[in-house]
């Protein structure tokens, strides 16, 4: 096995832990969310620093999610190549779309810095309701949920992770993916916590497994066995 395989394992495992952690912190510090554009701009204006920090943390989470997704796909590649490819592809498309959605949120952050609030509300309404923006950035963002569902389901199918962890990964991704467009703080918090537990635990397992196990994903041996696997 090569040095690159060892480094890839460490990067994938670390990102599985850090990506949901960044998301969880972002959700906690995010100002009130609303599907009403006037209320949303008022919320951003009331805490512009909080909105910017939350946006930056969300972008960091999305960037870290890329190696995490590729790591999950790597674990599936030998025994479920189709689920590995479809899951990773869907998740990566969703991540790319989500980056665009966060960018729109940063534009809204700037909208609150100038005058003419009524015109800014109308502009944000047009942005949110235009199909040419809503489809690629909101609808395609659901690819994150689909991708993680396929990856987590595949890992459970080959018995590579604890089924509870797989369920938490899938449920967390679904809650987070639909929580943003619905402006549901409860769904976002539930999703972030579930992802942090499920994906984070999987990341710790990857970090503590051997390079041989990383190359050829074994059946899940239980959490107790991790202490001796270095």
pLDDT in tens, 49-98: 999 999 999 999 999 999 999 999 999 999 999 999 999 999 999 999 99
pLDDT of 154-193, one tens digit each?
A: 999 999 999 999 999 999 999 999 999 999 999 999 999 9
* CB 54, CB 31: distance < 8 Å: yes
**Longest distance between any two alpha carbons in the chain, whole Å:** 63
The tokens of 152 are what?
A: 């987590």
For the entire predicted model, the pTM comes to 0.91
> How far apart are the C-alpha atoms of 107 and 119, rounded to whole Å?
14
* CB 109, CB 48: distance < 8 Å: yes
The tokens of 143 are what?
A: 């690819």
Helix ranges (H only) for the chain are 3-29, 37-46, 48-76, 81-111, 117-129, 131-134, 143-157, 163-182, 185-208, 211-215
> How far apart are the C-alpha atoms of 134 and 230, rounded to whole Å?
46
Percent of the chain residues past pLDDT 90, beyond the cut: 80
Residue closest to 168 by CA, chosen among 150, 152, 188: 152
**Where in the chain are the domains?**
3-223
User: Other C-beta atoms within 10 Å of 132: how many?
Assistant: 8
Q: What is the pLDDT of residue 180?
A: 92
> How far apart are the C-alpha atoms of 99 and 87, rounded to whole Å?
18
The answer for residues whose C-beta is within 8 angstroms of residue 156's C-beta and 6 or more apart is: 163, 166, 167
Q: Where does residue 222 rank: exposed (0-12), middle (13-18), buried (19+ CB within 10 A)?
A: exposed
Residue 221: band (very low, low, confident or very high) from pLDDT cuts 50, 70, 90: confident
Mean pLDDT, rounded, of the chain: 92
Residue 127: band (very low, low, confident or very high) from pLDDT cuts 50, 70, 90: confident
């Amino acid at each position: 096995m090569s040095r690159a395989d060892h480094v890839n394992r460490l990067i994938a495992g670390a990102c599985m832990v850090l990506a949901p952690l960044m998301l969880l912190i972002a959700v906690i510090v995010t100002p009130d969310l609303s599907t009403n554009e006037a209320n949303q701009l008022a919320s951003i204006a009331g805490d512009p620093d909080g909105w910017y920090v939350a946006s930056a943390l969300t972008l960091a989470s999305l960037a870290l999610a890329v190696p995490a997704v590729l790591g999950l796909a790597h674990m599936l590649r030998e025994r479920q190549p189709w689920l590995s490819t479809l899951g990773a592809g869907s998740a990566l498309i969703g991540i790319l779309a989500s980056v665009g959605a966060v960018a729109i949120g940063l534009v809204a952050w700037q909208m609150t810095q100038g005058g003419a609030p009524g015109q800014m509300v109308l502009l944000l309404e047009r942005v949110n309701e235009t199909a040419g923006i809503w489809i690629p950035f909101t609808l395609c963002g659901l690819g994150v949920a689909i991708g993680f569902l396929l990856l987590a389901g595949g890992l459970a199918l080959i018995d590579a992770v604890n089924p509870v962890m797989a369920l938490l990964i899938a449920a967390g991704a679904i809650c987070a993916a639909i929580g943003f467009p619905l402006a549901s703080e409860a769904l976002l918090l539930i999703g972030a916590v579930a992802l942090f537990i499920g994906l984070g635990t999987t990341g710790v397992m990857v970090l503590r497994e051997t390079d041989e196990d990383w190359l050829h994903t074994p059946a899940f041996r239980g959490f107790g066995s991790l202490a001796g696997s270095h």
